[in-house]
Structure 1
Amino acid sequence: MTGKTHIIGGITASLAFAQTTNYDPFILVGAGVIGAILPDICHGGSKIGRTLPLLSKIINTLFGHRTFTHSLLFLVLMAALMNAFVPNEAFTAGILVGMASHLVLDMATKNGIKLLFPLSITVRFPITARTGGTAEYVVFTALSLFTVYFGYGVFIS
């Protein structure tokens, strides 16, 4: 998926999560956007990879793309680190929700992800989309509509 689809996915997931918690939705959404692009630190051409090119290059050299940073192991390690060093629970939750949305969206691509890294098993949905293709555009549109729906539920009602 492209960066914009991951961002709208992070927003949607954060707003949906906000409906079940008492966390500040603005913090959840802001952190959700960060979390939604964070797993692509392993790809130098991604939004975050271009922002932190040296770190991106190191991670890509060590692990490759869609392996460690797209795994449950990375998600658990980030949760442990953030719980230990970040006092704001809403921020931590937003990061993790955004990261989870990223993993789900990338499982919908042909290449899938190494969700169970270090095992080399590729995980993807039975029906997949090509990154940047028509199906991704449909996913982006659906996520945009869900963002409006969940945003209404969080901010209006």
Structure 2
Amino acid sequence: MTKETHIKGGYIFALLALPFIYNDYLLQYNLYYRVILLLIYIYFSYFGSLIPDIDMRGSYISKRFPTIHKKIGKKLRHRSLTHSLIFILILSFLGELLLQYSDNNIVFFCLVSGIIVGVFSHICLDLITKEGVELFYPITINLSILSIKTSSKLEKSICKILNFIIIFLLGYRFYLFV
């Protein structure tokens, strides 16, 4: 999938998970602070939706973080560790450490939640591509649910459909929260 499709997928997954986060963690804060926390959550779901491609030379995220790409990305096959369930567990563990050291600060909770939701969306979208992902890394079996080719007309159509889903979910979430 392309960067644009992953970003839209990250937004959709974030909007789908939003009621759980909002009702359980954000409802206790005043409206202005909630808006700031929601923006942090949405931004980091965007960022998280790009993180797994740090293992691919030339990707948007590897160009933005070349040092990380050189240390980690060059040592990995594309769609291996960073596209696996182990990677989500590693991020969850690191996020839990961050939350413990910040005394469960709500800002860091929104940051960590956004990243994990974004990474999860990326992996789910790459599961429907022809190349698939090594979901159970270090087992080197590529799993693929569909065979959509990256940058194909079908993917571009899916990307357009995701735009409509985002608009619908934004409207629906706004309706529920107001």
Normalised by the length of structure 1, the TM-score is: 0.93
For 1:25 and 1:128, the matched residues in 2 are separated by: 34
CA deviation string 1:13-63 (max 9, x = no partner): 111111333144322211100100000011121110111123213323322
Map of 2:153 onto structure 1: 134
Q: Structure 1 segments of 4 or more deviating over 6 A?
A: none
8 Å CA contact retained: 1:12, 1:144: no
111, 125, 147: which one aligns with 1:91: 111
8 Å CA contact retained: 1:19, 1:153: no
For 2:16 and 2:121, the matched residues in 1 are separated by: 11
How many residues align structurally?
A: 156
Cα RMSD between the aligned structures?
A: 1.4
163, 166, 171: which one aligns with 1:144: 163
Amino acid in the other structure paired with 1:13: F
> After the TM superposition, which residues 1-150 of structure 1 pair with which residues of structure 2 at under 5 Å, given as runs?
1-22=1-22, 23=26, 24-86=37-99, 87=105, 88-125=108-145, 127-150=146-169
Query: What secondary structure is seen at the aligned counterpart in 1 of 2:72?
Result: helix
For 1:48 and 1:15, the matched residues in 2 are separated by: 22
For 1:38 and 1:70, the matched residues in 2 are separated by: 9
Normalised by the length of structure 2, the TM-score is: 0.82
Amino acid in the other structure paired with 1:39: P
CA deviation string 1:85-138 (max 9, x = no partner): 14421221111110000001111111101110001111111x221110111112
8 Å CA contact retained: 1:109, 1:128: yes
**Which of 1 and 2 has greater Rg?**
2
- What percent of counterpart residues are identical? 29
Gaps of 5+ in 2: 27-36, 100-104
Deviates more, 1:57-66 or 1:40-49: 57-66
